[in-house]
Amino acid sequence: MFLPDLLKDKVILITGGGTGLGRAMGERFLDLGAKLVIASRREELLKQAADEMERAHGGEVLPLPVDVRDPDAVERMFEAAWAHYGGLDVLLNNAAGNFASPTERLSPRAVDSVLGIVLHGTFYCTLAAGKRWIAAGRPGRVLNIVATYVESGSAYVAPSAAAKAGVLALTRSLAVEWARHNITTAAIAPGPFPTEGAWQRLMPPGMAEAALNRIPLKRVGRHEELANLAAYLLSDMAGYINGECVVIDGGEWLKGAGQFSWLEALSDEDWMQMAARAKQAK
Ligand code: HXC
Ligand code: NAP
């Protein structure tokens, strides 16, 4: 269903595009004809990733160093990206910081660190893109990567939950406010997709197998599944989707939310007894 020219000549800026899911999405976009900017803090890593991505997938990948917590650096990075390609079509806010910790152990700097990358960084990049699109009279698309706990919150990752919920609020706010400028937004809430960055910080050693029990499909996500969803959402075929957040998690968060999900532990025999008890009660 994905034609090779689905994203032909679209210029897509991916924050955090040199690693993990950002890189996986970028590689898929290259296959579909896009041109990329990848931007994050580690310049050498970015340059190497850009080389490898171009060699494996063709197209053009411009690596630009930036710390998204610094609004001046964000401005400089957008200036360089815009000048290089003569404009941008898509901003993919994918950069994030996160780690698991009891909240009472966090220092103010730890809180600022996650909120700075996820909420402020996303906001600064969105402002830098939006101002340019509006001034140039060009259409634009913002895709934000959030998490399934944007609605529920989550113990042990409170700064990330608060920041990602803010990003979702931004996604929905701008869907309405900037539609008149032909700028639209969307978000993706991924469940577990193993990456080095996330697993090192969030998955206690030896617990990956046990974590599968939380997921009705009993498997983690494949990077290409997320990349295909992102490609669709950035294509013109999804032009009427505005302000929506798509969950891609094998049913994980619904299982956590459903009051009786835990009954999956019952055997056939347990169910026979349950039915007999219910009939007796009648
Ligand atoms: C408690 C911690 C901590 C930890 C850092 N800090 N790690 N506190 N527990 N595990 C504290 C430090 O002590 C310091 O506070 C403050 O946070 C800033 O730490 P620095 O190391 O100086 O920050 P910095 O170099 O800016 O790094 C930012 C970072 C780091 C967020 C801490 O982890 C990072 O660079 N992350 C980027 C990549 C990432 O996180 N990827 C995962 C995304 S996954 P003090 O007071 O001591 O100075 C994701 C998935 C969600 O979002 C859903 C999964 C299913
Ligand atoms: P990752 O590889 O650690 O990606 C995080 C990226 O953000 C890195 O490339 C990092 O590059 C960049 N980054 C961090 N701080 C930055 C800063 N201050 N300025 C600029 N860039 C910065 O982890 P991932 O798993 O692929 O995560 C990608 C996205 O998916 C994140 O938004 C995450 O919240 C989301 N997500 C992931 C999962 C999952 O299961 N993996 C689940 C839900 C949501 P530098 O270090 O070079 O700066």
Residue pLDDT, tens place only, 237-265: 999 999 999 999 999 999 999 999 999 99
Residues lower than pLDDT 70 in the chain: none
165 lines ligand 2 (CB under 6 A): no
Please report the pLDDT score of residue 183 as a whole number: 99
State the pLDDT at residue 282. 84
Does residue 246 sit within a domain? yes
Is any atom of ligand 2 closer than 6 Å to the C-beta of 70? no
Strand order in the sheet with 90-93: 61-65, 35-40, 11-15, 90-93, 140-145, 183-190, 244-248
| Residue 1, pLDDT score | 84
DSSP β-ladder status, 244-248 and 11-15? unpaired
d(CA 50, CA 151): 35
**188 closest CA partner among 138, 134, 238, 262:** 238
Residue 9: its pLDDT value, please?
Answer: 92
- 149 part of the active site: yes
* pLDDT attached to residue 116: 98
Residue 93 covered by a domain: yes
pLDDT confidence of residue 210: 87
Q: Tell me the pLDDT tens digit for each residue of 60-83.
A: 999 999 999 999 999 999 999 999
Owning domain of residue 77: 11-281
Whole-Å CA distances, 134 to 18, 179, 194, 222:
28, 11, 37, 36
In a domain, 189, yes or no: yes
Q: Check which CATH number belongs to the domain holding 252 and give it.
A: 3.40.50.720
Pocket test for ligand 2, best of 27, 61, 193 (most atoms within 8 A of CB): 193
Assess if residue 148 is contained within a domain: yes
B/e letters for 193-212, b = 16+ CB within 10 Å, e = fewer, are: bebeebbeebeeeeeeeeee
Domain count across the chain:
1
Diameter of the chain by CA atoms? 76
Dihedral-angle region of residue 58 (phi above 0 means left; psi in -120 to 50 means alpha; beta otherwise): left
Structural domain includes residue 6: no
Asked, for residue 4, whether it belongs to a domain, the answer is no
**Ligand 2 mean position to 282 CA, how many Å?**
55
In a domain, 1, yes or no: no
- Overall residue count recorded for the chain in this entry: 282
